[in-house]
Structure 1
Amino acid sequence: MKRLSFSFPRCKARGIAAVEFAIVLPLLALLLVMVVDLSRAIQAKIILLNISREGANLAARATSDLVGSSQTILNALAATTPPLDMNKRGMIYITKIMGPATAGQPNIVLEQYRWNAGVKSSGYQPASQVWNCGGWDSNGTCTTILKGASAPTVTLMQKQLADGELIYAVETFYNFDVLFGTLQIGSTTTPVLGPNLYSMTVF
């Protein structure tokens, strides 16, 4: 008994594979771009976290003269951020906070500094999320902080600081050039990765 065998010409099989690849290629390219965008956002977030930690450490060690050394610290932090372009897209704040004299009261803001070079080179100036200063001098020092009973208060680490205990909150902001915001997949929405990335460390 003879077996009958049917075979398609190889050129037809190749043509079908080429059509399938052409259909799938845009989807694969989109997924690749999304993965690259996600990895860039994660890298930027890690860099912001690292410089906020280092900034809090440096600020705490410069307690004797933070007024004179604040811009030096902020410039040094911004210089360690490549591939991020902090000069065009970043901002850094240092806020000095003291525990209240009366237990249970909010903590007191003693000083706040913002990175001057970032203000001068870009229009990106997000407000501090710890405490928002109303005015700045040419050295990047907040000029609206009053002393004594009129000192501004914050709820950051409320009821966790002893009388006179000092902490330094360093905030880093970055206006990330995100390619994709949120995606709607059915009834599920992916979280926003940008454009405003933020990190804070308290030391």
Structure 2
Amino acid sequence: MPHISQAGAVNIEYSHFPIGELWEPGFERRDNRPDLQTSEAVVVAPGRIIVRSRVQEHTAPVVLALSGQQGQAPGAGWELIASVAYQPVHAGRMAAFDTTNGPARSASEAVRVFGQQVAPGEATIDLDPSRTYDVQVWAQGRSDSRERFEDAAPGADTEDASELEAYLIVFTPSGTQEPPPQAASESRRDRLARSHGKPPLNAR
């Protein structure tokens, strides 16, 4: 049985949202700007999996899961939209995020996946940073979400239109890797010297 997060809700803007690995103190920050010019439904960058919605702006329920069985369908109405590879770059704690406003909030209602009702709450899951993962991104309502959005009354509020799309992101271990190393501790003087080319006058 997969380990399943609670059901969060992401505020989608610009037709995409990230599933991101939470940076933790002691780990090097990574440049994780994705290439959003692609036509792919899902884009991977270091520490992030970017899901591209078919709707410009709306709210969508999101559930994360960790499964030992790849390709297990989560239930009726779910469509597999992409399979990608992911390797943790920090400590492996994944979360669903709004496009611009931080971690997802709790969903307004339960989401049914793998035969169970997933209660609203925090959409986070812990991966093993010494493993690599195959990731399957499943969706509900995506096939005609744009058409339903465009058919809505002009000026309709879509912020809570969670019936447009819902997403399930399933991680399955695929191999092993060296766990990402923690960065060596650095003094404030050394950090300023690295950032500016030399220490500040009062630290020389």
Higher strand share: 2
- Asked if TM exceeds 0.5, the reply is no
- TM-score bucket (shorter structure): under 0.3
Normalising to structure 1: TM-score of the pair? 0.26
TM-score (normalised: structure 2): 0.25
> Which is helix-richer, 1 or 2?
1
